[in-house]
């Protein structure tokens, strides 16, 4: 056990040094030569001070990310090795008689401990967002959001974990398949209710107050054959100075949402491009494709987790004081395995997401026929959010579900619209005749 702990701690420290060296020494972040002098060149739309701020802020956020992910694994590992999980299970049995209540008590202890241990990383992330004028929240406002996250996650996890361990007891060999079968409708249900139940707990949503702009957006939606009746805005300016818009929900709860910061800082043509981009996700069924892909990955994730856990318990169960998989004390092991599998799959899921985002950008350009507004919109998004224009390779692979901003801007600037294709066709014809 001492060797396990020593190797885990040493491995984390070495990983932290490697991440620091990569981000602060190796990763230059230079843009490709082909982007120089174009709209994608940060020198064209960011001052040297803004570029320095963006570089510093992005590097700090990336470093915190690469520290926090393996730290989560380390925490779950130490909770297992030191017998803390077993102690939580014993306390839950002493506190409650019924299985569901025992799960609730156990999960409260585990959630509280992991929340407190991860809190320094969460606070550092908030601190730097505040220091670089991205976050607009006071500490009490931010802390309120963290506590809401804790309780909402705790309630959802209690239901999921109680159901999962019930299935483990009933289907000892095929529990992972039964768990996945239950996970499918739960995921769909959560996606359906999120816009109307969960999201309003954090922010106030309303139909777009600017009715002239809403009419323009709805006209654009009609061109895209989207049966939209309203566009929603959300009061994110009380939290952040960054800009964003997104599509959420499924079925009749599907919504296109604009942050009020986006409404305040982009002009009408830029907003129409952003809306066309979000409409593309609806038209091309990206939400449903995303759910399907997520559930497919979850299928293999549950299967691999089951095999991996069975092997670990068979080999090290005595040292970990675990007799069988269905004991609540195995939960940190399950969370550890699932987190590692999720991280390992993130390059694939991020690459697929970037592909969909490029599709949405192309659709928006075709719909609006306004490349200038698209370029200026992305430039403002980069400036206001201190976005990394050209992230290091490993950061892009593991963190970016969108193409790098320089890539998006350059692709849009060089995108051939129909009118340009016709002009190029005329030039080619003239050349061939000559």
Show binding-site residues for Zn(2+): 277, 281, 357
Active site residues: 278, 361
Q: Is the pLDDT of residue 423 over 60?
A: no
Domain membership flag for residue 239: no
- In a domain, residue 233? The reply is no
d(CA 158, CA 96): 14
Q: Report H helices in 132-234.
A: 139-170, 175-193, 211-223
Residue 246 belongs to what H/E stretch? strand 245-248
d(CA 225, CA 231): 15
Q: Which residues are annotated as a binding site?
A: 277, 281, 357
Q: H helices within 260-321, ranges in order? A: 260-265, 268-283, 286-320
pLDDT for the residue numbered 261: 92
Range of the domain at 362: 2-204+284-425
Is the entire prediction scored with pTM above 0.75? yes
pLDDT for 211: 87
Give the range among 24-28, 248-252, 288-292 with minimum mean pLDDT.
Answer: 248-252
Total domain count for the chain?
1
Q: Indicate whether 257 belongs to any domain.
A: no
Sequence-separated (6 or more) residues with CB below 8 Å from residue 417:
365, 366, 369, 371
Tokens of 91: 């306390």
- Least Cα distance to 61 among 432, 385, 413, 409 occurs for 385
pLDDT digits (tens, 9 = 90+) for 125-171: 999 999 999 999 999 999 999 999 999 999 999 999 999 999 999 98
HSE-up (13 A, CA, CB side) for residue 362: 12
Task: For 82-134, write each residue's pLDDT tens digit.
Answer: 999 999 999 999 998 899 999 999 999 999 999 999 999 999 999 999 999 99
Q: Looking at the domain assignment, is residue 223 inside a domain?
A: no
Whether residue 242 is contained in a domain is answered as no
- Do the domain assignments include residue 130? yes
Domain assignment present for 278: no
* pLDDT given at position 348: 94
427 pLDDT higher than 50: no
pLDDT given at position 318: 86
The answer to whether residue 363 is domain-embedded is: yes
41-69 confidence digits (pLDDT tens): 999 999 999 999 999 999 999 999 999 99
d(CA 192, CA 287): 11
């Amino acid at each position: 056990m001492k060797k396990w702990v020593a190797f885990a701690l040493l491995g984390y420290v070495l990983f932290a040094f490697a991440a620091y060296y990569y981000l602060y020494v190796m990763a230059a972040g230079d843009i490709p030569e082909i982007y120089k002098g174009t709209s994608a060149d940060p020198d064209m739309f960011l001052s040297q001070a803004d570029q320095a701020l963006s570089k510093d802020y992005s590097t700090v956020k990336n470093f915190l990310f690469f520290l926090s992910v393996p730290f989560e694994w380390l925490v779950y590992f130490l909770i297992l090795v030191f017998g803390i999980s077993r102690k939580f299970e014993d306390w839950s049995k002493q506190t409650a008689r019924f299985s569901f209540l025992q799960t609730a008590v156990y999960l409260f202890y585990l959630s509280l401990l992991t929340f407190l241990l991860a809190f320094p990383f969460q606070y550092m992330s908030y601190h730097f967002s505040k220091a670089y004028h991205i976050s607009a929240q006071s500490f009490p406002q931010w802390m309120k959001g963290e506590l809401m996250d804790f309780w909402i996650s705790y309630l959802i996890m209690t239901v999921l974990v109680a159901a999962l361990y019930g299935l483990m007891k009933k289907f000892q060999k095929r529990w992972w398949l039964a768990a996945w079968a239950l996970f499918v409708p739960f995921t769909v249900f959560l996606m359906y209710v999120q816009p109307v139940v969960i999201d309003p707990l954090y922010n106030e949503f309303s139909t777009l107050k600017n009715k002239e702009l809403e009419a323009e957006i709805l006209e654009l939606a009609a061109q895209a054959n989207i049966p939209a009746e309203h566009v929603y805005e959300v009061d994110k300016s009380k939290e952040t100075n960054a800009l964003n818009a997104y599509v959420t929900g499924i079925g009749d709860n599907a919504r296109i949402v604009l942050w009020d910061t986006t409404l305040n800082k982009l002009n009408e043509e830029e907003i129409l491009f952003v809306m066309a981009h979000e409409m593309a996700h609806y038209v091309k069924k990206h939400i449903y494709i995303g759910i399907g892909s997520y559930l497919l990955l979850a299928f293999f994730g549950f299967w691999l987790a089951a095999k991996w856990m069975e092997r670990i318990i068979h080999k090290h169960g005595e040292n970990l004081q675990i007799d069988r998989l269905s004991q609540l004390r195995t939960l940190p092991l399950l969370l550890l395995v699932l987190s590692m599998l999720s991280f390992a799959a993130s390059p694939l899921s991020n690459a697929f997401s970037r592909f969909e985002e490029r599709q949405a950008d192309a659709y928006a350009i075709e719909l609006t026929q306004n490349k200038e507004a698209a370029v200026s919109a992305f430039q403002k998004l980069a400036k206001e959010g201190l976005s990394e224009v050209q992230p290091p390779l490993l950061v892009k692979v593991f963190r970016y579900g969108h193409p790098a901003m320089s890539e998006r801007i350059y692709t849009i600037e060089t995108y051939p619209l129909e009118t340009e294709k016709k002009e190029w066709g005329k030039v080619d014809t003239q050349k061939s005749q000559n």
